[in-house]
Amino acid sequence: MAGVINICNTRINGMARNGSMNFGEVLHNGHTADVKSVGINSTYGDISAACARMKNTNMDADIFDQTAVANIDGVYGNQL
C-alpha cells in the first residue's frame, strides 16, 4: 500500500546550488541540476493558500553545466 504524505505547513526560504527538498522515498543519482527555472511562490500570512507564478524555459546557452547527461554513478537503488 502506498504511503500518504500530508504536508500541512512547509516553509522554505531559499535554495541554491543543487538544493533538494524531498518528500517520501527518493533516490539521488549524480547531484546535478540540468533545469534552470525562474519563478515566485508567495503566501500572505501563515495559513493562507500559496499563489505560484513560474516561468520554466529549457534554453541553456552555456551547456558546460550539463555534463551529467545519461550519467549512471553505479547506484544500486533496489529495495531490500
**Mind listing the pLDDT tens digit for each residue in 29-49?**
666 655 555 666 666 666 667
pLDDT of residue 20: 74
The three cell numbers of residue 60 are: 541553456
Domain residues for 39? 32-57
Q: pTM of the prediction?
A: 0.30
> Is 11 within a domain?
no
Neighbours of 63 (CB within 10 A): 9
Inside any domain, residue 63: no
Is 38 a member of any domain?
yes
- Count of residues in the chain: 80
CA atoms of 38 and 26, how far apart (whole Å): 24
Q: What pLDDT, on the 0 to 100 scale, is given for residue 1?
A: 45
Q: 18 in a domain, yes or no?
A: no
The count of domains in the chain is 1
Q: Is the pLDDT of residue 27 over 70?
A: yes
